[in-house]
Structure 1
């Protein structure tokens, strides 16, 4: 029998009217079975959260986890992400925020298609089956996702609007098609972006060496926004930690300009083949006299490696600013700009280039009319050949993929009108439904060519045309999903502008650090673009970013690197050895993987420990940003802490329900209350700061453990007669609720059902509501909180300030408080304050940033 079910005398009444708890439950030890029975009981009773209400006037909080890719099953890394985000979301709800926490599925792309191919099923069937399984697990985890706003990127209702954004970019001149040398994966039979090829030239998915091919591809001109995207990382409201530097390094300082020169052959100037060049100064375009390319680049491959004895190609590059064709050479012996495979020779600016001209016996080109830099760039923009400030390392976004399972590119090809965009009213261009017996690897391309799907009409002349068969890179789908969540059921428009401006930006974005470059860059680009055409108010989509560490498992491998299964290992004096060979094995912690035999299925952990303890095991003792080594050795500490909380309620109930024990208030009750009050404020501040500001959840849990120690310390008289003890106990349970809601609910009803209640007039506690409906505990007004004084970007020391002074604190007042600290006063004595800024964190702590400059004493006297 489930012991939890008999907790309450009147189970037919509403949960908030339950009061009489049977003492029998608290006599039991807190076993795993009791934990799971508690959860099963509350799952039937809880309303975990209220859905985000667009009409609610409370301050909004948008908590977002990077949505999963349903090409397989959820792993513990996923569970950790959702536990982190959900804990913060529940914390914000308890702080009175109108919280929005949606969930969806990044369901297009190569991994899902490959997984379906391996199993002989259609991608949509495989994907939908995985979504169903993942959703069941997420619902079992009881994360407070707003399922009313669920989205699925492979649904026509979603990718219709992905195609809409594509067409908007096309209209703005940001989408173009050209021939280029691409990275070709011979196994997956598709193009890969440069970012999807590792340092060894291997594919990020298949692991094979990529090949170079010339294909006509679709690109998005992300370089138009390079400088804006780089400078946008400097705004003070962006809280991204080290990811800002990673993004900046990826984009690069925009210290040059990019241009496309069309390729000219004896037959004429090509309309689809062009050479992308980069120069530091636009004026160099006018003075350029030759171009050098690396081997295996577009010009080299188009010429089939045919060139004269000097290495000059038969093809040339047409300069639209001088109306001249520049000779192109193949060489590795020129100082190519970083990350570029094209070098522009400007003899008037470089001795090296003058020597090159001399050695190649080229005649100097005559000077042309004078242009200024602005004219060159503006003309390039009108011609749609670049002209934007950009670093040498960043290039436009190649989005074409030669695969079936992706968003169709909304373009048609007409023999009369050429390439034409699909009309907006004809969206979505849907994927064709494959036959049930279709062999993905062999039949898709043949099916597309032979079926009626590709046949269509020209959007311009109405004549016969063919649909584009390339699909979009899955990063396009995930570049804007956070926006669609806010208005997911809108069938008439991308989203309502009023709604999007109410939701955005995302307040907390949680996901893996592996997405710190590509996904974040593309998502920011789309947001900047939509802002530029007036559809959204905020350019930066993510205010705060939390990149969680991986969950790692212990691996055992031989000297040759072979991983062994658990059943293939034996231990001799705690030394792992191979059962078959006796070889001593190397033990390491690595990312969980089936191939390494170190994975742990989330369902196994849930079945063993239940929801709350699983969340605790993932959040406990290690910062969310650090890697978590999944080691059962530290499980003991988690279980012991839960048991200590269990014993605390047991003892509290026993003391409060026994009127004959003869206990009287102790002589030092005033001293005890003062100590309890101090600890309550100190630990509330610590938990609140780490849950709500730094998101260092493990540190917050550590403070909760400290508060548990405070509860275990007082004598029985204090537990019976102290109002302060009640407030400490209430605060502990309430602050535990975002992490372990079911366990906290049981502790709460144990606490609130005890007789002899002392804090009946306490406005902080709502005795008639469950723990998730409680307000987050606050610090007393007179309690002093830190004023962090940051001088020249370095925190020197803390000053103190009463918490009730924070809301009205001015910059001048903060300086006075800071200088009450002797060290800060001494530091600032001979320094001139150039700039001072005040930053407040939720009435909890304050940061005073001072930019200073040392003032010479003699000079100061002269000035005076």
Structure 2
């Protein structure tokens, strides 16, 4: 479609007699005589809010590729903050982009609704947590709809709904059936403010709670654990799965958290007077010699340290408790000591004196008898390891590779507002799972009167607590601990697939079609805990044959925090509002308090009401409009980067919207009038310019939407296309096919980010007469969100970039249709034929070479060849 003789004839033909064909127009406000004000933006958004096309995932459509885009579901705090605006605008823009690229998109939303914040807030207000949470959900749901997000609301779920947590309890029972759940006493982190246990991950480097900020205490309590360490090696190896894209630093964080899986865990029963009283999990890097272990050592910080025993020299204590080796059933002594060098983040040790020198020294010092060991060769070691691990696994006493520092998942929480653990305690029959026919185990209802006292845990409700043993039918009590909320969020992405499914946790057949998640969007603060637990559950369910892939999330988009400018009085540290501050030098962060003239420290911090640096999204929507707010949060800074919220960047976006509005106004006017003619040569030159601009910016914007995920750069590319459109004279507005194509592309590229505004612009574009593009490229009778995503023209020339030793030497211009068919060898030969490349190769004294060849985005974006060369041996 590039301008040539055909285009010149078209130009001449239009000048002589402009065709007028009647088409159906898309109905908008048609306020094209008005300037674009905030009031008009609101009118546009009110008009289009109920008209935006957002087709849901079609389960019966097998002709299109599915695309599951998922944003981490929010905690219903009651009000959106700018971090919410950022993540859900990103999510919505991606979902709309993929729909316009003919993908069958799954885009659900829900609420991470259990947990301490809701319970504490309810206590402060003397209301039931359930009522508080439901009110917040309704308010935030309204705000998300105001933001224009195209979520599939018929998939909406809340973790506090019994129809959801019934299946969280089912997950618990599946883990229990697989031998992955146990209860034991442990020294735990106790939050004295929130009065609940915290996992190690929920305690900061200063020993304070991640929620309340209180100094954590240590208590000995009986707790529920999930054996996440059984999948340690799988989870570690899964991070190298080629299915994962853009995990970047998250892989490093996860690998550091899991640790090197260079040893095996075994459960040793603890015996007192030949009776089992508990068990201890021990790690060894030499499982092949486990039958030769002679003692167990624990540090003074271990739970067993307070047990009775005989005091030996140097403060070492030999316990009256023994440990039973699960492989040979031999009992070995247990010592509480600081004479052993424990590995980092460990407080127990398996002593094999025939292998490790410090073990031998310890045995000699405390007169522990041991036998010499015949060392095995490599082949024998591998064989023995397999046999030992296989035996331990069969006995369900370990035998799985893990790191020494990784711990099992402590899920017990001593609070009311959480998923009840489906276990029953009977004095006669012991601890038993709740029968599946009795699920869900619902939380007892709390009215406002019962909420006026501080809610401690489920022990407060005796009627709920007392139940019947499922085995002997005698009196029994329910488990009063609730689950860590990370259990609720470890599998929600599967429940979205069929929220109302009654047979199991999720619809297995739909999971096979719709999993894994193609793009997962959320904050980096969840890189360790949530992603680790979600991956663990996915690996576990995959091991049962219930889902098709081990890894639940193919691609990550880890968005940065939205930061606000804070002001603190130097010396006191008191936060003050910006209105009370006089800024002297913003570049040097110099400011003073207006009333006292005291120095003020300026910094960027996470938005917070207490810091007076928060921005209310409702006020943003009111002052600037929905789409302007969406563009502001996406522009300037890449999604993965920290966003310092600064109004100085606003004029660029606002002016760009005005220029787009003016462009449509002028397009309509020039198509209805007869602008001054220009020469055929000048027309062709500008028509070609628009052709190249269209292809260049479509290529760039598409790449940044899809491949690089740099939505801020996509905004810049679209602004570049606007500049191209604004440069040409009225004759091109009126008579140029390439202007019409470029303007259509401009609006289509904008639509995922600013759907209301783009829809109104499109209505003006399609209302103009004398349409030149009459093929299927532009679907004139459909809205902008129903258009096909534009592609680069086949005849448009792309760059084949030649690099020598990583340095770009030259670019060869090749038509897109030709470059798509170019093989590796053809690309290499073509590069070697170029004079500039040959000169570089001669000066480098190349003796051999290798190269890679790849397409950045399905042939639409540049195809690049990279030639790497080596110099002669010995050359400087």
TM-score computed with the length of structure 2 as normaliser: 0.89
1:59 maps to: 65
Relative to 1, partners in 2 of residues 1:685 and 1:839: Cα closer, same or farther, differing over 3 Å? closer
Corresponding residue for 1:486? 497
SS at match of 1:347: coil
1:171 corresponds, among 177, 194, 197, to 177
Q: After alignment, is 415-424 or 585-594 more displaced?
A: 415-424
1:601 equivalent in alignment to 2:621: no
Change in CA separation of 1:791 and 1:226 when aligned onto 2, cut-off 3 Å: farther
Aligned to 1:287: 292
Say if 2:362 is the partner of 1:356. yes
- Aligned with 1:115 (options 98, 112, 121): 121
Which one of 787, 807, 827 corresponds to residue 774 of structure 1?
Answer: 787
1:803 maps onto 2:816 in alignment:
yes
Partner of 1:672: 686
In 1, the alpha carbon distance for the partners of 2:805 and 2:349 equals 42
Question: Which piece of structure 1 moves more, 515-524 or 324-333?
Answer: 324-333
Distance change in 2, residues 1:282/1:776 (3 Å): same
Is structure 2 residue 722 aligned with structure 1 residue 708?
A: yes
Alignment match, 2:654: 639
Query: How far, CA to CA, are the matches of 1:458 and 1:22 in structure 2?
Result: 67
State which of 409, 425, 443 in structure 2 corresponds to 1:431: 443
1:685-696 superposed matches below 5 A: 685-696=699-710
- The equivalent residue for 2:556 is 545
CA contact (8 A) 1:619 1:697 kept: yes
The SS at the match of 1:242 is: helix
Task: Give the superposition deviation at 1:731.
Answer: 0.7
Distance 1:756 1:17, change over 3 A: closer
Q: Distance in 2 between matches of 1:491 and 1:295?
A: 50
Does the Cα contact within 8 Å between 1:556 and 1:587 map onto a contact in 2?
yes
Q: 1:722–1:138: structure 2 CA closer, same or farther, 3 Å change rule?
A: same
Alignment-derived partner of residue 536 in structure 1: 547
Give yes or no for contact 1:377–1:387 (8 Å, CA) kept in 2: yes
**Counterparts of 1:263 and 1:796, CA distance in 2:** 70
Shift of 1:301: 3.5
Distance in 2, matches of 1:54 and 1:92, equals 16
2:242: which partner in 1?
A: 236
Partner of residue 11, structure 1: none
Take 2:438 and 2:526, find their aligned partners in 1: how far apart are those partners?
33
Question: Which residue is equivalent to 1:206?
Answer: 212
Partner of 2:380: none
Distance 1:771 1:626, change over 3 A: same
Q: Kindly indicate whether the alpha-carbon contact (under 8 Å) linking 1:185 and 1:209 is maintained by their aligned counterparts in 2.
A: yes
Cα distance change of structure 1 residues 443 and 777 upon mapping to structure 2, 3 Å threshold: closer
1:242 Cα deviation after fit: 2.2
Return closer, same or farther for 1:223/1:850 CA change in 2, 3 Å cut-off: farther
The reply to whether residue 68 of structure 1 matches residue 74 of structure 2 is yes
- Give, in whole Å, the separation in 1 of the partners of 2:43 and 2:165: 43
Of residues 521, 525, 534, the one that matches 2:532 is 521
Listed one character per residue, the Cα deviations across residues 590-613 of structure 1 (whole Å, up to 9, x for unaligned) are 000111111111111011111100
Structure 2 counterpart of 1:258, from 247, 253, 265 = 265
Within 2, Cα distance between the matches of 1:728 and 1:443? 62
Shift of the 279–852 alpha-carbon distance from structure 1 to 2, 3 Å rule, reads farther
Structure 1 residues 662 and 214, CA gap change in structure 2 (3 angstroms):
closer
Instruction: Answer whether contact 2:225 2:412 (CA < 8 A) is retained.
Output: yes
2-side partners of 1:474 and 1:542: how far apart?
20
Change (3 A) 1:403 1:810: farther
Shift in Å at residue 206 of structure 1?
1.2
Q: 2:514 aligns with which of 474, 499, 503?
A: 503
Aligned to 2:271, the other structure's residue is in SS state strand
Shift, 1:780, TM fit: 0.5
Query: 1:135-154 alignment to 2 at 5 Å?
Result: 135-154=141-160
Instruction: Please state whether the residue corresponding to 2:775 is helix, strand or coil.
Output: coil
- Using the alignment, how far apart are the partners of 1:648 and 1:565 within structure 2? 40
> Residue in 2 aligned with 1:6?
none
Query: Does 2:858 correspond to 1:842?
Result: yes
For 1:776 and 1:797, the matched residues in 2 are separated by 31
Match of 2:603 in 1: 588
- 1:455 deviates by 2.2
Are 1:564 and 2:576 an aligned pair? yes
C-alpha spacing 1:837/1:683, structure 2 compared with 1 (3 Å): closer
Shift in Å at residue 33 of structure 1? 1.3
> Compared with structure 1, are the counterparts of its residues 621 and 358 closer, same or farther at alpha carbon in structure 2 (3 Å cutoff)?
same
Which of 130, 136, 144 is residue 136 of structure 2 equivalent to?
130
1:65-115 Cα deviation digits (max 9, x unpaired): 100011342211011000001111111111111111000001111222122
Residue 687 of structure 2 is aligned to residue 681 of structure 1: no
Asked whether the equivalents of residues 649 and 751 of structure 1 are also in contact (C-alpha less than 8 Å), the reply is: yes
Shift, 1:288, TM fit: 2.4
Checking the alignment, whether the CA contact within 8 Å between 1:454 and 1:466 is kept in structure 2 is yes
**Structure 2: how far apart are the matches of 1:600 and 1:669?**
49
Moved more, 661-670 or 162-171: 661-670
Find the counterpart in structure 1 of residue 5 from structure 2: none
Alpha-carbon offset, residue 51 of structure 1 = 1.3
Structure 1: distance between partners of 2:687 and 2:46? 38
- Note if contact 1:781-1:804 (Cα within 8 Å) is conserved in structure 2: yes
Question: Which has the higher mean CA deviation after the structures are superposed, 461-470 or 122-131?
Answer: 461-470
Name the SS for the 2:431 alignment partner: strand
Note the residue ranges of structure 1 that are not aligned, 5 or more in a row: 1-15, 859-864
| Cα distance change of structure 1 residues 572 and 679 upon mapping to structure 2, 3 Å threshold | closer
CA-based RMSD of the aligned residues comes to 3.0
Deviation per CA, 1:596-645: give whole Å up to 9, x if none.
Answer: 11111111101111110000110011000011111111111111111111
Q: Tell which has more relative contact order, 1 or 2 (C-alpha 8 A, sep 6+).
A: 2
Q: Are 2:621 and 1:616 equivalent residues in the alignment?
A: no
- Provide the rounded CA distance (Å) in 2 between the counterparts of 1:784 and 1:121: 66
Deviates more, 1:428-437 or 1:357-366: 357-366
Does structure 1 retain, via aligned residues, the 8 Å contact 2:698–2:791?
yes
1:10 equivalent in structure 2 = none
Residue 347 of structure 1 and its aligned partner are, at CA, apart by 2.1
Moved more, 846-855 or 487-496: 846-855
* Alignment check: 8 A CA contact 1:71 1:115 kept: no
Matched, 1:783 2:790: no
Q: Distance in 2 between matches of 1:848 and 1:474?
A: 47
User: For residues 496 and 537 of structure 2, what CA distance do their matches in structure 1 show?
Assistant: 15
Q: Tell me how far 1:236 sits from its aligned partner.
A: 2.1
Q: Partners of 1:422 and 1:789 in 2: how far apart?
A: 66
Following TM superposition, by how much is the alpha carbon of 1:499 offset from its aligned partner in structure 2, in angstroms? 1.1
Cα gap change, 1:623 to 1:305, in 2 (>3 Å): farther
Give 2:765's match in structure 1, choosing from 747, 751, 754: 751
Q: Which residue of 2 aligns with 1:329?
A: 335
* Counterparts of 1:269 and 1:179, CA distance in 2: 17
On the 8 A contact 1:340/1:392 being kept in 2, the answer is yes
1:157 equivalent in alignment to 2:166: no
Q: 2:566 aligns with which of 543, 555, 571?
A: 555
